[in-house]
Structure 1
Amino acid sequence: MVCLKSYYQKNDTNKMKITHLIFSLEVGGAENLLTDIANLQSINHKVSIIIVNNIYSTSLIKRISKNVEIITINRPEQSINPYYVLKLNVTINKINPDVIHCHHHNLINLLFFRKKCKVYLTLHRNGIPLDNLRKYNKIFAISEDVKSNIRGSYNIISCPNGVLYDNIDIKVDYNFDTFKIIQIGRLQSKIKGQDILINAIHHLVYHLKFDNISLDIVGQGPDMKLLQKLIDDLSLNNYIKLVGNWDRNFIYQNLKNYSLLVQPSRDEGFGLTIAEGMFAKIPVLVSDIGGPMEVIGQGNFGFHFENTNFVDCANKIFNIKNTYLDLENTQKLSDAYNFALEKFSIQKT
């Protein structure tokens, strides 16, 4: 695995001009990573972020350093009006960057009038079409899993996501009256699998008779109404809450108050929230797919269940609860923290 910052080196007296290009800047793993990287890069380089579409989170923009120039093109999503493409290219030519770093594989097709500069791409997920990959000078994958899912002879460098772990409060008290579970992610169940976890909670409450349990689902997205209906239909309103988006600082301060973080994704290239849970020293339970399994060291530093199997998910939660105070598990949390520190610190990205 290679550190991203090693590809942004010039001598100390010659700052690079780095432009990050992204379609939208909503709350999510890719967007969180971009803001953190841009903030760190701006210490030594001249950094800008160009947001193509008129979709962006003001709370996320507030987290970006004043040293980073933020430029909005304000294109309506999926608009084919050439005005916005022209505006984008004129803006880039004025900046005259040394590097344009794209955060979606299609963005290079909007760059027509750029001067000679390197164009990089970060692959933030699996299932990326191959059509545009050879157009980039360098390609970074957020995990070995994402890298291995790209078939063909592409020069792809694995560079894991990083976490600002210093900002995360660490859990010290593992006693509980209610076993509190947290899940964080965009409410898009075909990818993030929140429905799997909801069904697992139903199995725990009504079949395994484990009722001193609660689940907070953090995030927003297109499936909010669908997931709320599922909660209603399964009579789980006393156990599960869709709490909406939380500010990341609030999440970092409150992860320690939970007994377990579950990431039940059907598809996940990495799983930034899993690493955040490890830094908070709370147990993490993930579906046994490539990216999340990579984050927990193939099961050495976290728990896993069979992908899409809500009964197995429920059984694993039940077992974690029953062995929660065991020395083996508390040592596992310390080992998980050290593993995350070695692999997923933002300073090493």
Structure 2
Amino acid sequence: MKIAHLIFGLGLGGIETMLVNIANEQIKYASVTIIIINDCINKELLRKFHSQIEVIRMNRHRSIWPLIKLNRLLIKRKFDIVHVQSKELGLVLLTYFIRSKFVYTIHDTGVALKYINCPYDLRISISECVREDVKIRTGIDSIAISNGIKVTDFRCKIREMTNKASVFKIIQLSRIALPKKGQHILIEALSILKKRGITNILCTFIGEGDSSGLESLVSKYGLSNVLFLGARDQSYIQEHLNEYDLLVQPSMFEGFGITVTEGMAVKIPVLVSNIEGPMEIINKGEYGYFFEVGNAEDCAIQIEKIMSSDNVQLVNSAYKRVCQIYNIETTAKRYIEEYKKII
């Protein structure tokens, strides 16, 4: 089987990182080619691809010519499967002339009909909530295959619960994207906790994007316990995530939440807003904590609760759930199984 994955760019986002992991698993079962359209490429992530995976860089920079070359390439190479990872690409593919089966992964809720309705042979949703969202809004069926991570790559360690005198370390992993990712809610929650005299917290934000708006908010509230580290690659996350005491994902909307599974994989508690994707991962509170979306007061209450709780049993159960359901080996095999049904 010859598989080609199409993606616009290769930054440090969840889609790109998961593509690397999936491709590295799929190479065990098939020939895999990665076609990157734009010239926005993170070299560290690029080096993560298995040596047997072919990577084709179209190096597009605003010009339409690389998109024409892309269609010519697909016609010539006759891949069995062309798997579209970036929604906009479906609008530029000349599917009528390309002798391949086309697959599209729907990575979020609320994706516009014009992208979903492109002539695909198979649509894959990254979670049950995304599948339901697509069905309700468009009437189009898709297969739910959960995102996954390579659990064994993460350093797993149960940290002893910090006491009142020590520093409680919070991590927030997401690209800086307001209001979607909701980082401002977490900062407001830290301000509320400060007013209550709870200052033994250090909160670190990791993710690419412009953090100036969030830094202004930190200054406005007079917070001295917030760090912005910018983008960090997957190796850094795998190495250092277990050094924290809590992962917070305060998104306003989210089709999945790959960083939530990463927190569970290193056995630290996770706190998410009560939206569909993250709540599906923690099974509505069975494997993690949640707060009302957009509610900084409730977020602060939950953080204070977690700081004084013994979470050993919770994180052990969450770890088992990630290994069983959100493991990249399982995700990659499911993809291969679905490919075989349409070729």
1:24 aligns with 2:9: yes
Provide the residue aligned with 2:334 in structure 1. Answer: none
Provide the residue aligned with 2:127 in structure 1. Answer: 143
Deviations 1:56-80 (A, max 9, x none): 211110111111111111222xx3x
Task: Find the partner of 1:320 among 306, 319, 327.
Answer: 306
1:196 aligns with 2:158: no
Provide the residue aligned with 1:231 in structure 2. Answer: 218
C-alpha deviation, 1:24, in angstroms? 1.2
Task: Find the partner of 2:90 among 89, 103, 108.
Answer: 108
Note the 1:67-86 alignment, pairs <5 A.
67-76=52-61, 79=62, 81-86=63-68
C-alpha deviation, 1:305, in angstroms? 0.3
Q: What one-letter code is carried by the residue in structure 2 that aligns with 1:338?
A: K
1:125 aligns with 2:111: no
Task: Find the partner of 1:272 among 236, 254, 258.
Answer: 258
Aligned partners of 1:45 and 1:109: how far apart in 2?
27
Q: What one-letter code is carried by the residue in structure 2 that aligns with 1:116?
A: R
Aligned partners of 1:248 and 1:263: how far apart in 2?
17
Aligned partners of 1:189 and 1:197: how far apart in 2?
12
Provide the residue aligned with 2:278 in structure 1. Answer: 292
C-alpha deviation, 1:345, in angstroms? 0.6
Aligned partners of 2:115 and 2:187: how far apart in 1?
38
Aligned partners of 2:12 and 2:261: how far apart in 1?
17
C-alpha deviation, 1:302, in angstroms? 0.2
**After alignment, is 151-160 or 298-307 more displaced?**
151-160
1:347 aligns with 2:334: no
Deviations 1:3-62 (A, max 9, x none): xxxxxxxxxxxxx11000011111111111111111111122111111111212111101
Provide the residue aligned with 2:143 in structure 1. Answer: 157
Note the 1:87-98 alignment, pairs <5 A.
87-98=69-80
C-alpha deviation, 1:262, in angstroms? 0.3
**After alignment, is 174-183 or 260-269 more displaced?**
174-183
TM-score between the two structures when normalised by the length of structure 2: 0.91
C-alpha deviation, 1:103, in angstroms? 0.9
Note the 1:170-189 alignment, pairs <5 A.
170-176=156-162, 177-189=166-178
C-alpha deviation, 1:250, in angstroms? 1.7
SS state at 1:299 partner: coil
SS state at 2:22 partner: helix
Provide the residue aligned with 1:217 in structure 2. Answer: 205
Aligned partners of 1:128 and 1:263: how far apart in 2?
21
Provide the residue aligned with 1:38 in structure 2. Answer: 23
Aligned partners of 2:15 and 2:167: how far apart in 1?
33
- CA RMSD, aligned part only? 1.4
Q: What one-letter code is carried by the residue in structure 2 that aligns with 1:213?
A: I
Between the aligned residues of both structures, percent identity stands at 37
Aligned partners of 1:289 and 1:20: how far apart in 2?
29
SS state at 1:59 partner: helix
Aligned partners of 2:313 and 2:250: how far apart in 1?
24
Task: Find the partner of 2:234 among 225, 248, 269.
Answer: 248
Aligned partners of 2:312 and 2:38: how far apart in 1?
45
SS state at 1:108 partner: helix
SS state at 1:232 partner: helix
Aligned partners of 1:138 and 1:175: how far apart in 2?
46
SS state at 1:221 partner: coil
C-alpha deviation, 1:146, in angstroms? 0.9
Deviations 1:169-210 (A, max 9, x none): 1122324321000000000121111111011111111x2211
Q: Are the aligned partners of 2:6 and 2:37 in contact in 1 as well (CA < 8 Å)?
A: yes
Aligned partners of 1:258 and 1:181: how far apart in 2?
6
Aligned partners of 1:184 and 1:132: how far apart in 2?
27
Consecutive unaligned residues in structure 1, runs of 5 or more: 1-15
Aligned partners of 1:204 and 1:82: how far apart in 2?
51
Aligned partners of 2:139 and 2:221: how far apart in 1?
48
- Count of aligned positions: 324
**After alignment, is 248-257 or 287-296 more displaced?**
248-257
Task: Find the partner of 1:48 among 9, 12, 33.
Answer: 33
Aligned partners of 1:320 and 1:348: how far apart in 2?
31
SS state at 1:191 partner: coil
